[in-house]
Amino acid sequence: MSSSSCAHCAKSDVNQSFKRCSKCKSTVYCSQDCQKNDWKLHKKICLPEGTVRGMILACDSDRQNYLFNEIDLDATHPIHTQGVICPVSVKVGLPIVIYRHLKENPLTMARDAKLDNQRATFLMIDPRSGFAPPEWQQCVGSVTVMRKDGKPLTRQSIETIWMYHDRLLDLFGDDPAIAHRMMTSDGFKKYCAEYKRERLMNRHTDFANMPVPL
């Protein structure tokens, strides 16, 4: 939706008289009624200017409290300066930044299974080998992830992304060449569409509003 059209009814702002959302400053409406009617959807992505909606992925010790946890990341969050790009995400055209909460060197820490984070490990696999670097295989702890393009990262989209990595790992086990062929923008988009259909067929209605492509 362009910024010169009402986000709810799509009416064009011919006279440039529409009002912007006072919180995010990026979404416009032709009337208070349209803004009110759109709020149920818009509130999920409405963030203060300069803030990014990310997601915390829990390690095993934190999973008793949450699995995914939404977080609003302002410009001072260390993910912007200390986060690293997930390698496969670059190849498929949707770069994801990941930030490890623990500061200790995972390679020198005593092995602690409670700090395992399979989802983070999957996101950091090498596109050539299918293996994550050693420092992402143990004592990972909980992590924060966000889209590098600044668009909101939802529970449904991050689940889809790491399940795509899970699928790649299965393919690496069968035939690495097949995994490499799937590691494209088109291959990723196709997987996302298929995964959304599968989740909806299994009555996970929260996936209904997940856009494809992500």
Instruction: Give residue 135's domain range.
Output: 52-207
Q: What is the pLDDT of residue 45?
A: 73
User: Does residue 197 register a pLDDT over 50?
Assistant: yes
Do residues 144 and 123 touch, judged by C-beta distance below 8 A? no
Do 74 and 7 lie in one domain? The reply is: no
Is 153 contained in some domain?
Answer: yes
> How confident is the prediction for the chain on average, in pLDDT?
92
Going across the sheet that includes 52-57, the strands are 68-73, 52-57, 143-147, 96-100, 84-85
Counted domains in the chain: 2
Contacting residues for 202 by C-beta, under 8 A, at least 6 apart: none
Q: Average the pLDDT over each of 25-29, 176-180, 208-212 and give the range with the smallest value.
A: 25-29
On whether the pTM is more than 0.95, the answer is: no
Is 214 contained in some domain?
Answer: no
- Please state the rounded mean pLDDT for residues 188-202: 98
Do 100 and 13 lie in one domain? The reply is: no
